[in-house]
Structure 1
Amino acid sequence: MKRSLAALGLVGAVLLLADSAAHSLLGWPAMQAKLQAANAPADLQQGLAMGWHFGGLAMLVFGLLCLQTAWAGWRGRHASALLMGVVGLAMTGFGVGSAVLTGWDPFLLVFLLPGVLLLISATGAPKRD
């Protein structure tokens, strides 16, 4: 993997890790406050909290896996394009799909920016015969 593409993967992975922390530590308290203000039932809030925090955990795991893959590429070791490509495609696809369904919101850059960086980085993995 070229170092410049590995660097994009590292940046994308770090952004994904930061997004994970913001999602769970900042996003949920704001969402919970809105749910409480709307008098949402406690069981609904609990169910949404579980899904919300699972999303944050998934982003953390994806970020760590991508970080390890990009770091290996940076160091000149074999790094599979598959992992970063799948995560990048999922993040980018989610961001684009959300924009189409709900309209453009700058918040969607939280998904689009790391996703696109990971997709670009995935193009730098060596091809196997």
Structure 2
Amino acid sequence: MKSQALFGMTIGILVILSSFAHAFLGWPAMHDELQTTNTNSDLIGAMSVGWHFGSVAMFTFGCIILFTAVEVWQEKNVQRGYIFIISLAYLLFGSVVFVVRNYNTHFLLFVITGVLTGLFALRIKRR
């Protein structure tokens, strides 16, 4: 039981950390690149909102995974369905964007996150 919880905690923490990287490293780089193309400032602002919402969503997913893992550690009765939903979201998004963006391997990180999250969900014992 404890190993499943540690696995889930690790994934949750990694997803939370990736949300910060997405917001505080990814957006500034994207913003700078957009400015070199003379993109309209209103469009950049709108893209910023969407980008940062994605970061907030990633943070939220990481917290759900982490809190679920803590409940597994405490041997509470845990529903794993929402962890599967998070896993599926990462898997589908990563797979589609990987193909649409010309097989850019960066997007495989989403697929890997989905696989790891799905493995955590599968390891949660149903009671």
Q: TM-score, with normalisation over the residues of structure 2?
A: 0.90
Shift in Å at residue 99 of structure 1? 1.6
User: CA contact under 8 A between 1:20 and 1:57: conserved in structure 2?
Assistant: yes
Runs of 5+ in structure 2 lacking a partner? none
Whole-angstrom distance in 2 between the partners of 1:110 and 1:32:
22
Whole-angstrom distance in 1 between the partners of 2:73 and 2:111:
23
Partner-residue secondary structure (3-state), 2:123: coil
Whole-angstrom distance in 1 between the partners of 2:6 and 2:53:
28
Percent identical pairs in the alignment equals 34
User: CA contact under 8 A between 1:62 and 1:87: conserved in structure 2?
Assistant: yes
Q: Whose relative contact order is higher, 1 or 2, with alpha carbons under 8 Å and at least 6 apart?
A: 1
Q: TM-score, with normalisation over the residues of structure 1?
A: 0.89
Question: Which moves more between the two structures, 109-118 or 75-84?
Answer: 109-118
Report the count of equivalent residues.
127
Shift in Å at residue 75 of structure 1? 2.3
Supply the RMSD in Å over aligned alpha carbons.
Answer: 1.5
Runs of 4+ in 1 over 4 A off after TM superposition: none
Shift in Å at residue 66 of structure 1? 1.1
How do 1:23-42 and structure 2 match up within 5 A? 23-42=22-41
AA partner of residue 44 (structure 1): L
- What's 1:108 paired with? 107
Partner-residue secondary structure (3-state), 1:123: helix
- What's 2:2 paired with? 3
AA partner of residue 85 (structure 1): F
Whole-angstrom distance in 2 between the partners of 1:122 and 1:69:
10
Whole-angstrom distance in 1 between the partners of 2:14 and 2:39:
32
Partner-residue secondary structure (3-state), 1:78: coil
